[in-house]
Structure 1
Amino acid sequence: MKREIQVSAFIIFITLGYYLLNILALGFLGAEFLSIPLTLLLPASILIEREKPNPISRATYIFSMLWLVFMIYLLTGWALIQFIWFFMDLPWLKVLTVSSAAVAVAYGVFRAARPEIKFVEIPFPVEESLRFVQLSDVHMGTVRSAGFLKGVSGAVNRVEPAAVLITGDLLDGSRPVDSSILSTLKTEAPIFFVSGNHDTYAGDFRATVSDAGMMCIDQSVIEFEGIQIIGVGYSMERHSIPAILDMLDFDEDRPALLLHHLPVDWEDARERGIDLQLSGHTHGGQFYPFNIIVGLMFPFLRGLYSDSGSFLYVSEGTGTWGPPVRLGSSCEITVIDLVPLRGCDEGNSGDLHLHG
């Protein structure tokens, strides 16, 4: 019941904001009469996708999300152009604004459809180098389906990791996804998964993930190649890492790698002997201007951070949430090479290498 109330509140909030944007954008385009019909498409598609998904509701959902981004860039571009041209109402300026917004959205869709493979090298207390692949925020659902995951699977297999680490939001929660779709991620390496907030919107996600051959390690510790891999799943309680780590049975003096969806509580993790924390959630802001807003909410927005010999890596996400658009960020498949500490200055971030 609590989850349904949250979803309903979210839909109402989004719909009101969407309606205001439609009034402004369609007023600019001289088509105000479309404000209500276009606004209603979004909540209708969200509800139908959750209950009785079909090709029409999927297409409507994707259109509505892209239309949302188009309106944001249309209104932002018009405000900028008016400032530059001192509020001159010239027809060609409107054409420039509309075409620029359309190009921005099209480029953002192109960027979002092409995950980049990023290589990160991190000093770690291991005897021999060890390679992992981190996936995060894939958001399988309405926008991302088996075809996208098949492409991700091919990229993962080409780099031959020892294991695949999924740091939450594998599922989007926008429509039901069964294990047969997740099984499209085929690899000989074991797959370890911790939940994110969107996974909890998808019902019995643990059974779905398990049936797909993945191991959910929420609130548990596993041994892998001499490393303690610690999973802390998503919790509605903020700053839950300290309490959960204190309950888990692991050796703070041995190599420890933490998987947690949110890039928070890193200081608490360091104090408890965590050598490396892998997180996601932020999407790197996904697209302008939300990069700025998300950056204010999460100081550790994306990339690699180091402090006192401990490291945090925040993935920008393998997929997207909401609009399938990337501007100012990228979809990533992260190849993490753990290299022996010998010869490395643990506290020197200059020893770290990040390749696009």
Structure 2
Amino acid sequence: MIVLVFVALVFLAHFYLWHRLVRSTTGPGRLRKALTWGLVGLVLLVVATFVSTRAEFANWLAWPGYIWFALMFYLIIFLVVLEIPRAVAGLLLRRSERRRAPAPVAVPARASAPAETVRAGASVPAEVAPEAVRAGAPAPAEVAPEAPAVPAAPEAAHSMSRRLFLGRTTAAIAGVGAMGAVGYGVTSALGDPVIESVKVGLPKLDPRLNGLRFAVVSDIHLGPLTGKAHTERIVRMINGLEADVVAIVGDLVDGSVAQLGPLAQPLKNLESRYGAYFVTGNHEYFAPNGFTEWIEELGELGVRSLRNERVEIRHQGAVLDLAGVNDLNGTSGGDGPDFGKALGNRDTSRSTVLLAHQPIQVTEAARHGVDLQLSGHTHGGQLAPFNLVVGLQQPVVSGLATVDGVQVYVTRGAGFWGPPVRVGAPPEITMLQLSR
């Protein structure tokens, strides 16, 4: 059902693009047919790309498919925004053409020849035939033939010219805007993540824990468009922060260990004083062979998975509870979040930091007295203005906020999903420091 809805949306998006980029910019003929079939091919490309993301041949299909998907997205955004200016421009052009159009010339009715003959010396109307003139009367002046009226240009021709002008101008603006946005977004997505430094005050934090540092990263999304260098760069940047704790908040992979295991190997080089911890995201449950193989793989790489459990972080003689819950997507397979198991029977006088992939899980965290929740999932919207849509489903899109009395920090993630494009939401690794 989800696949059918997706295909329908892709078809509708391309139909709109055809209407604005093909039908409105060309006349009937070979060019229109060629562009139409080109869009049909792009529809098939997008569907094939998303369906085959975990197939072996996805590597070569993903690049053109995802790049076109991003271009399609921004073409629609720009075209929709231009609909009102386009309509106003069309109205102004029509009014201008009406003002410039010449007024129709009235042609006088031809007078009939008089019944009686013309008297001698009388002037002879031009309409009177020569034979009607009496002998001795002066000959009538020679009449110049009437010039034929020049017909005005047909309204259909004006309409076609106006339509093509507006259509081509709108298409050019949208095309330049979309290519600029996607070009910038590719550079952002494939570049170094931004290091965000954040200080979070926890009212009941033991003073001895002041300055405890968390390197927070999420949504690395190892997949067909990322290489081993992507992971190596993230590990190198995290190690440069010299954090006390590394928290990987879900969506590490988009595939199986057999496909992506080599890309994850650099994680064994993560450095921190008290270890690296991981919680599942929704994409771990999409792995072809299940999520459990990744839990085992990460264990071998020295990254501990917190599966509805907590550990004690002992720092300078004080203790912080670090808990982790499974992602909501694990619920259907019997591996969903269990806050009671992760947070029950603990010393509530101690501060608790919770790792939970989706920000929306904070509602349940508040019921269990959590002080701070670290999440990802949203990518900060990844493709602005998609962040506005994400905000309808999650209580926090990015950054630090307070929800139901619990502070929540949502990282934008260090990778990307789908198109290798980030607009308005650069990739992020967070250095989060606790204070009282």
User: Normalising by structure 1, what TM-score?
Assistant: 0.84
Check whether the contact 2:327–2:356 (CA below 8 A) recurs between aligned residues: yes
Q: 1:335: how far off? A: 0.6
Amino acid in structure 2 at the alignment position of 1:285: G
Give a deviation string over 1:285-337, Cα, whole Å, max 9, x none: 11123111111111222111136874211111111111122122221101111
Provide closer, same or farther for how the CA distance between residues 33 and 310 of structure 1 changes in structure 2, counting only shifts above 3 A: closer
SS in 2 for 1:297: coil
2:106 maps to 1:29: no
Check whether the contact 1:283–1:316 (CA below 8 A) recurs between aligned residues: yes
Paired residue for 1:19, among 3, 8, 11? 11
Provide closer, same or farther for how the CA distance between residues 176 and 303 of structure 1 changes in structure 2, counting only shifts above 3 A: farther
Q: 1:10: how far off? A: 3.8
2:234 maps to 1:138: no
Check whether the contact 2:71–2:179 (CA below 8 A) recurs between aligned residues: yes
Q: How many residues align?
A: 328
2:252 maps to 1:148: no
Query: Structure 1 unaligned runs (5+)?
Result: 1-8, 342-356
2:180 maps to 1:103: yes
Q: 1:67: how far off? A: 1.0
Amino acid in structure 1 at the alignment position of 2:21: L
SS in 2 for 1:18: helix
CA distance in 2, matches of 1:153, 1:298: 28
CA distance in 1, matches of 2:401, 2:52: 41
Q: 1:132: how far off? A: 1.0
Q: What is the aligned partner in structure 2 of residue 353 from structure 1?
A: none
Paired residue for 1:291, among 382, 387, 409? 387
Check whether the contact 2:310–2:342 (CA below 8 A) recurs between aligned residues: no
CA distance in 2, matches of 1:242, 1:153: 30
Alignment map for 1:79-94 (pairs within 5 Å): 79-85=80-86, 86-88=88-90, 89=163, 90=165, 91-94=168-171
Q: What is the aligned partner in structure 1 of residue 281 from structure 2?
A: 196
Amino acid in structure 1 at the alignment position of 2:63: I
SS in 2 for 1:230: strand
Bigger drift between 135-144 and 178-187 goes to 178-187
Q: What is the aligned partner in structure 1 of residue 321 from structure 2?
A: 228
Give a deviation string over 1:127-168, Cα, whole Å, max 9, x none: 141111001111111223311111111211111111210111
SS in 1 for 2:54: helix
Bigger drift between 160-169 and 325-334 goes to 325-334
Paired residue for 1:206, among 287, 290, 295? 295
Check whether the contact 1:171–1:177 (CA below 8 A) recurs between aligned residues: no
Paired residue for 2:365, among 259, 266, 269? 269
CA distance in 1, matches of 2:366, 2:380: 23
CA distance in 2, matches of 1:174, 1:66: 24
Q: What is the aligned partner in structure 2 of residue 348 from structure 1?
A: none
Give a deviation string over 1:159-203, Cα, whole Å, max 9, x none: 111121011101124895443321213222221000011011112
Provide closer, same or farther for how the CA distance between residues 275 and 152 of structure 1 changes in structure 2, counting only shifts above 3 A: same
Provide closer, same or farther for how the CA distance between residues 116 and 140 of structure 1 changes in structure 2, counting only shifts above 3 A: same
Q: 1:35: how far off? A: 3.1
SS in 2 for 1:261: coil
SS in 2 for 1:277: strand
Provide closer, same or farther for how the CA distance between residues 79 and 87 of structure 1 changes in structure 2, counting only shifts above 3 A: farther
2:194 maps to 1:116: yes
Q: 1:92: how far off? A: 3.6
* Higher share in strand: 1
Q: 1:107: how far off? A: 0.7
CA-based RMSD of the aligned residues comes to 2.5
Amino acid in structure 2 at the alignment position of 1:228: D
Amino acid in structure 1 at the alignment position of 2:389: I
Provide closer, same or farther for how the CA distance between residues 69 and 175 of structure 1 changes in structure 2, counting only shifts above 3 A: farther
Check whether the contact 2:326–2:337 (CA below 8 A) recurs between aligned residues: no
CA distance in 2, matches of 1:290, 1:23: 21
Give a deviation string over 1:57-91, Cα, whole Å, max 9, x none: 32322321221221122122223234224254423
Provide closer, same or farther for how the CA distance between residues 176 and 326 of structure 1 changes in structure 2, counting only shifts above 3 A: farther
Provide closer, same or farther for how the CA distance between residues 308 and 300 of structure 1 changes in structure 2, counting only shifts above 3 A: closer
Query: Structure 2 unaligned runs (5+)?
Result: 23-34, 91-162
Paired residue for 2:270, among 174, 181, 187? 187
Q: 1:245: how far off? A: 4.3
SS in 1 for 2:392: helix
Amino acid in structure 1 at the alignment position of 2:309: S
